[in-house]
Amino acid sequence: MEKPGFAIAIMAAGKGTRLKSKRPKVLHEIGGQALLLHVIAAARTVVPAEQIYCIVGHEADRVKAAVAPTGVNFVMQEEQRGTGHALQMVKAFFAMSGAAVPKHLLVLSGDVPLIKPETIAAICDLHLAEKAAMTILTAVPADPTGYGRVLRRNSDGPEVTAIVEQKSLKPEQLGAPEINSGIYCFETHELFAKLDLLSTDNAHGEFYLTDVAAMLVADGKRVVAVKAESVDEVLGANTIAEMMHLDAAMRMGTARRLMAQGVTIFRPETCVIDAQVTVGPDTVIEPYVQLLGGTTIGVESRVRSYSVIQNSTIGDGVMVRNGCILDHAQVSDGAVLGPYAHLRPESRIGEGAHVGNFVETKKVTLGKGSKANHLNYLGDAVIGAGVNIGAGAITCNYDGVHKHLTTIGDGVFVGSDSTLVAPVTLEAGSYVAAGSCITDDVPAGALALGRSRQITKPGWADAKRAARAKQN
Ligand code: UD1
Ligand code: CA
- Domains of the chain plus CATH, in order, are 6-234 (3.90.550.10), 263-448 (2.160.10.10)
Q: What is the pLDDT averaged over residues 118-122?
A: 95
Residue 35 near ligand 1, beta carbon < 6 Å? no
Beta carbon of 81 within 6 Å of any ligand 1 atom: yes
Instruction: Give mean pLDDT, residues 309-333.
Output: 98
Express each pLDDT in 423-445 by its tens digit.
Answer: 999 999 999 999 999 999 999 99
pTM for the predicted model, two decimal places: 0.89
The beta strand positions in 207-261, using DSSP E, are 223-227
Across the chain, mean pLDDT equals 97
19 touches 28 (CB < 8 A): yes
Q: How confident is the model at residue 412 (pLDDT cuts 50, 70, 90)?
A: very high
| C-alpha torsion sign, points 75, 79, 80, 82 | negative
Is 138 near ligand 1, meaning CB less than 6 Å away? Answer: no
Q: What is the reported pLDDT for 47?
A: 97
Q: What is the mean pLDDT of residues 244-263?
A: 96
The answer to whether residue 374 is catalytic is yes
**pLDDT digit string (tens) for 19-56?**
999 999 999 999 999 999 999 999 999 999 999 999 99
Residue among 356, 251, 189 at smallest CA distance from 29: 251
Burial class (CB in 10 A: 0-12, 13-18, 19+), 278: middle
* Ligand 1 lined by 83 (C-beta under 6 Å): yes
Query: What average pLDDT does range 168-187 have in this prediction?
Result: 95
Could you identify the atom of ligand 1 that is nearest to the CA of residue 11?
Answer: 22
Atom of ligand 1 nearest to the CA of 147: 12
Identify the H or E element spanning 120. Answer: helix 117-129
Q: Which of 109, 134, 165 to mutate to test the pocket of ligand 1 (most atoms within 8 A of CB)?
A: 109
Distance CA 119, CA 115 (A): 7
Question: What are φ and ψ of residue 131, in 5° steps?
Answer: 50, 50
Phi, psi (deg, nearest 5) at residue 5 = 85, -5
pLDDT in tens, 79-100: 999 999 999 999 999 999 998 9
Position 133 confidence tier, pLDDT thresholds 50, 70, 90: very high
